[in-house]
């Protein structure tokens, strides 16, 4: 039995990850600023400030595997709050890596599969291409990745970087700045207009949250050493395609088109061949994933 810690356990990805991890045999710990009102059975909840050095040192002590999912920036606010990301998030991630090096613990760093790469001439994007982020959120993630790789080279640590594309599903909240499928379904069910920035041609790589968490759990236990892995579906879908699928469930869906945003890369989807060599199960198709999420939301 191992002790597994999820940093940022109240967030969309990490709360779902905790639910997945607790189904196994290991002791699962969820750390965030506050203990949630709705607790997941068998999970050990820890409360505190990630940016408090004393708290962080005590939280990671004795842990075998640590998932790092804390970030104070998102793609929408990063061009305004970038200094906070570089002076707090990046610095504290360095401190985290140093503590985990001392404890000989494995880390899985939740990076970004879209913003890290930026504008690329060829799709799908392989892990080996030169990243070219166009916003500070992507650059913050890339800076953290580079620092993590140096630890692996200099100290032979087992720190793994997982570049996650665009997850969607139960627990997401598009009002926090990301989640087009979430927004389309929730606003559609509420009879509200779905806002689209640009003409709807922006292409992203959408992956169902259950798949994300199953892969992350597998990555934590896999005995091999994997520096960087794309965690995506391997295909791209435009906003117009998403709207078309959603209209199959909500025929009266209303759409409002707004001016495009400079932070949005026109097209990004990831090559997942490296992932599929390591992960033994099939991924949920986009159509099936949207249907599952629609049926989940209808029952709320």
Tell me the pLDDT tens digit for each residue of 114-173: 899 999 999 999 999 999 999 999 999 999 999 999 999 999 999 999 999 999 999 999
Does the predicted model carry a pTM greater than 0.85? yes
- State pLDDT tens for residues 238-267: 999 999 999 999 999 999 999 998 767 789
- 8 Å CB contact between 22 and 43: yes
Kindly tell me if the per-residue pLDDT of 277 is higher than 80: yes
| C-alpha–C-alpha distance, residues 26 and 7, integer Å | 16
Domains and CATH numbers, the chain: 3-166+207-231 (3.40.50.720), 170-204+235-270+282-298 (3.90.25.10)
Convert the pLDDT of each residue in 111-125 to its tens digit: 999 899 999 999 999
Tell me, what's the pLDDT at 81? 95
Token readout for 34 is: 């506050």
Written as six digits, the tokens of 31 are 């750390």
CA distances from 141 to 90, 111, 124, 149, 265 (A): 8, 6, 20, 12, 16
**Count of other CB atoms within 10 angstroms of residue 5:** 26
Distance of alpha carbon 35 from alpha carbon 172, whole angstroms: 18
């Amino acid at each position: 039995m191992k002790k597994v810690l999820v940093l940022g356990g109240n967030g969309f990805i990490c709360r779902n990850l905790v639910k997945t991890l607790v189904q196994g045999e290991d002791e699962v710990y969820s750390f965030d600023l506050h203990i949630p009102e709705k607790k997941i059975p068998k999970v050990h909840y820890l409360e505190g400030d990630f940016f408090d050095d004393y708290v962080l040192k005590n939280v990671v002590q004795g842990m075998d595997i640590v998932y790092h999912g804390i970030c104070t920036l998102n793609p929408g606010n990063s061009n305004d709050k970038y200094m906070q990301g570089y002076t707090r998030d990046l610095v504290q991630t360095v401190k985290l890596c140093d503590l985990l090096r001392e404890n000989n613990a494995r880390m899985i760093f939740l990076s970004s599969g879209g913003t890290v790469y930026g504008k690329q001439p060829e799709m799908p994007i392989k892990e080996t291409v030169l990243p070219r982020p166009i916003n500070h959120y992507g650059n913050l993630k890339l800076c953290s990745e580079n620092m993590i790789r140096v630890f692996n080279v200099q100290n032979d640590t087992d720190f793994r970087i997982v570049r996650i594309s665009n997850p969607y599903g139960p627990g997401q909240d598009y009002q926090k700045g990301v989640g087009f499928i979430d927004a389309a379904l929730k606003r559609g069910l509420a009879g509200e207009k779905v806002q689209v920035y640009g003409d709807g041609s922006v292409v992203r790589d959408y992956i169902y949250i259950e798949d994300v968490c199953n892969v992350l759990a597998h990555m934590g236990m896999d005995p091999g050493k994997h520096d960087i892995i794309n965690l995506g579906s391997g295909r791209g879908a435009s906003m117009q395609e998403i709207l078309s699928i959603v209209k199959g469930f909500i025929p009266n869906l209303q759409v409002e088109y707004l001016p495009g945003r400079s932070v949005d890369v026109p097209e990004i989807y990831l090559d997942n061949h490296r992932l599929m060599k390591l992960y033994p199960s099939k991924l949920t198709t986009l159509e099936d994933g949207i249907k599952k999420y629609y049926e989940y939301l209808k029952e709320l």
